[in-house]
Amino acid sequence: MLRALNSLQFAFCGRAGDGSLTTGSTLAGIAKTLGVCPHIQRSVESNIKTEPTEILLRVANESIYSPSDFLDVVVVFDQSAVEDEEREGRTLPIERMRPGGILICDSSKRFEYPNNKHEIELRVAKRIIESLNLQVLGIPMAETVTARFGRDAYISRNSVSIGVIAELFGLPDETCRVQFEKEHGSRKEALEWNLGAYQFGREYVREKGWKPEKQKFPASAGVRPEDQLVLGGDAIGAGAIMGGCRFYAGYPITPASEVLEYMVKNMPTDGVVAALQRKSRTPEEKAVWEQLKVSYGAAIQEMSEVRAINVLLGAAGVGVRAMTATSGPGFALMQEGYSAAGISETPFVIVLSQRGGPGTGLPTRTGQEDLLFAVFGGHGEFPRIIISPRNAEEAFEFATKAFNLAEKYQCPVVLLTEQAVAQGLFWSKPFDPTSVVIDRGKLITPNVLDALRVMEIPFERYRITEDGISPRSVPGMRFGEHLNSTNEHDEIGKANESIRNRIAMTHKRMKKLEAVRRDEHLPHSIELRDSKLEIGFITFGFPTNATLEALEVLRAYGMRCSLLQVRTLWPFPKDRVGHFIEDHEKIYVVEQNVTGQLARLIRMETSPLGVKTPEAKLRGIRRYDGRPITAEDIVRGVAEGGMP
């Protein structure tokens, strides 16, 4: 039974490095404890300490996975929230506020250290404040906190805003305190500062008698204490480890560094075991690290993406489940390895976390500009599998499955994601490791190799088979000796350029894609259908979330619409998509790029099936400014009839 969606969106606006993300996360944690569903998106510049940063926290009485266009509460730690000081043409957070919204500002006088830009002058935004009829709440955050705890406590000023919000919306004091303890409990001093700041915020609001004019904190969405608040990047890392990944090599790049750091921190290694061992108290916990000893892997930071992909090739080639994570510029450097894995039939997983391009582009912002690059990247022709999750839950599931797909079909698998997923904070049910299945495909056992030897049957690594997939031995296995090769090769791997061999091997490799299509464990497309078929949305990845939300809005207006989320993008589900298009009067392809890459793929793949997709029928709704697409964008897109 669907309730009306009630959501409230907060923006914490400061400079990079001044703790806005932590503050947003604190409030998200409090919301979660209250059963309310939180979702966080970062809107930051590529910068460490000085440029404007906005952390968007949306809370709702239903499960949500995307931000909204509008802001209800803006917390101003810095002038950049209300003024475009460098005249770059920025859209200011204050301009995106709903009429009657709440503006909470630090009203402290100018500080020289540590941040001399924080003094907020609201008069420059007088016109906006008046026209939007904003409720302005000034509170001397930094002044009070530093006076009470000293200059080093400056950053704790953020927690004053939590106190203000908690008091305004009547959030229980105990819940807030527990959350602070959870976050700062290990550092006594920090906990004291933050709790003091929080308490001050609450008292100040009470003193002034401030009340929200119309906003209400959403009711519970039924989020349970055991549920997770997880970054997409962490979900991928956790999924990879549980999917049996025991080798990671990567080069730091935004927005994929989360995966690198998760893998280095959590890959079972001697160091991780030692850390667990130190903390262990109970016999059960001791058993954890005893068991871990047979499950070591290696996670390393490499010197470049070029090197990382080739290290991966070597590792996967000798039989370990291996992964790297990168973004567009890094993936560009990995093309030779991608292609080499194709011909040498080496299974590995590349996490491609897309950002705005081209070139350096928008390093910290989202986009879906590399879909066709992943589908057609790498020189030459070879099979690859591309899957794309929409949120943390799917990111975890797809990461576990990616390794089975890679090993079963002996080809590279791209886990195609984007900044909004990798760095977005999502609610999800607890991941279930017992749901993970390990399938190593045609990896051969030493017994079989022995038997072949007794029967004097040579083992052929690249044997031509019915489904194109050959049995696979790895170094260390006796009698399975062969050559992995990036040259066109014969069945044992030796270079062979004969016409007959070339054709046979090309067919063998490409045939694997047909087997992939039939795989029941492949993340197949998901459909949400309505009875009368007026409008159909087709999506992949993050925009699916906003589209789902838009769907509810449009249905409330009496429009009949349905959604198809393409979860495996390659091999392309041509039949499924073709039929979906046939069944609808109008199709909107929602994606985050300017050229309509998914729409192009659809046209390319479905037209041979006789599906007519005239321009009028197949329309696009696209956002390509680096910001995550919202339900408002989609509803607006439908109202305007979409792009060609």
Partner 1 sequence: MTSTVGYDIKSAKDISTYGPNWCAGCGDFVILASDKNVTAKLITEHGWRSEDFENIGGIGCSAKEVEWLVEKYQGLNRGTYGFHTLHGRDPAVAVGALLANPNLHVTVFGGDGDLGAIGLAEFMHTVRKNYNLTIIFFDNQVYGLTKGQASPTAHKGLVTGSTPEGVKDKPIPPALYAMMAGATYVARAFSQKRKELEEILLGAMLHRGCSMIQVITPCVTYQREEGGKIRGTGIYKWWEEHFTPIQKVWDEAKGMVQSPEETAEYDVSNLLHAVAVELKAGEEQRWPLGLLYKKEGEPTGEENLDLVKVEKRKGGKESVMVHAPVHADISVAQNLPYYRKLIAGLR
In the complex with partner 1, the residue whose CB is nearer, 154 or 398, is 398
Beta strands 71-76 and 97-106 are parallel
Residue 202 or 321 with smaller CB distance to partner 1: 321
- Contact of 391 with 421, CB cutoff 8 Å: yes
Residues paired with residue 168 on neighbouring β-strands, in sequence order: none
Minimum gap (Å) between residue 597 Cβ and partner 1:
28
Return the closest-CA partner of residue 331 out of 253, 245, 396, 239: 253
Shortest separation between residue 306's beta carbon and partner 1, angstroms = 7
Half-sphere exposure of 225 toward its Cβ, with a 13 Å CA cutoff?
3
In the numeric block, which tokens belong to residue 156?
Answer: 């704790």
SS3 annotation, 148-183: HHCHHHHHHHHHHHHHHHHHHHCCCHHHHHHHHHHH
Q: How far is the CB of 567 from partner 1 (least distance, A)?
A: 22
Burial of 525 from C-beta contacts in 10 A (0-12 / 13-18 / 19+): middle
444 or 598: CB nearest partner 1 = 444
Nearer to partner 1, 124 or 288 (CB): 288
From the CB of residue 483, how many other CB atoms can be counted at a distance below 10 Å?
14
Pick from 301, 349, 308, 358: which is nearest to 329 by CA? Answer: 358
Residue with smaller CB distance to partner 1, 246 or 586 = 246
Cβ 407 to partner 1 shortest distance, Å? 11
Is the CB of 443 or the CB of 515 nearer to partner 1? Answer: 443
Alpha carbons 170 and 164: distance in angstroms, whole number: 10
- The residues pairing with 591 across neighbouring beta strands, listed in sequence order, are 622
Q: Name which of 642, 584, 579 is nearest 606 in CA terms.
A: 579
Amino acid 213 reads E
Q: Which residue(s) pair with 418 in the sheet?
A: 354
Smallest separation (angstroms) from partner 1 to the CB of 151: 34
Cis bond leading into 218, ω under 30°? Answer: no
Closer by beta carbon to partner 1, 59 or else 316: 316
* Shortest distance in whole angstroms from residue 466 CB to partner 1: 21
Q: At closest approach, how far in Å is the CB of 184 from partner 1?
A: 17
DSSP alpha helices (H): ranges in 57-187? 126-131, 141-149, 158-169, 173-184
Nearer to partner 1, 69 or 481 (CB): 481
Taking the least distance from each CB to partner 1, the nearer of 314 and 361 is 314
Q: How far is the CB of 493 from partner 1 (least distance, A)?
A: 7
Q: How far apart are CA 357 and CA 44, in angstroms?
A: 16
Q: Which helix (H) or strand (E) holds 247?
A: strand 247-250
Is the Cβ of residue 16 or residue 316 nearer to partner 1 in the bound state? 316
Q: What are phi and psi of 131, to 5 degrees?
A: -70, -30
What is the nearest approach in angstroms of partner 1 to the Cβ of residue 488? 11
Q: Residue 291 or 595: which CB sits closer to partner 1?
A: 291
510 touches 383 (CB < 8 A): yes
Report residue 216: phi and psi, to 5°.
-125, 140
Nearest distance, CB of residue 225 and partner 1, angstroms: 8
3-state secondary structure of 591: strand
> Up-side HSE of residue 124: CA atoms within 13 Å toward CB?
13
Q: How far is the CB of 250 from partner 1 (least distance, A)?
A: 12
Q: How far is the CB of 303 from partner 1 (least distance, A)?
A: 5
Which alpha helices (DSSP H) does 220-379 contain, by range?
A: 232-242, 257-266, 270-279, 283-292, 305-317, 328-333, 335-344, 371-376
> Is the Cβ of residue 30 or residue 94 nearer to partner 1 in the bound state?
30
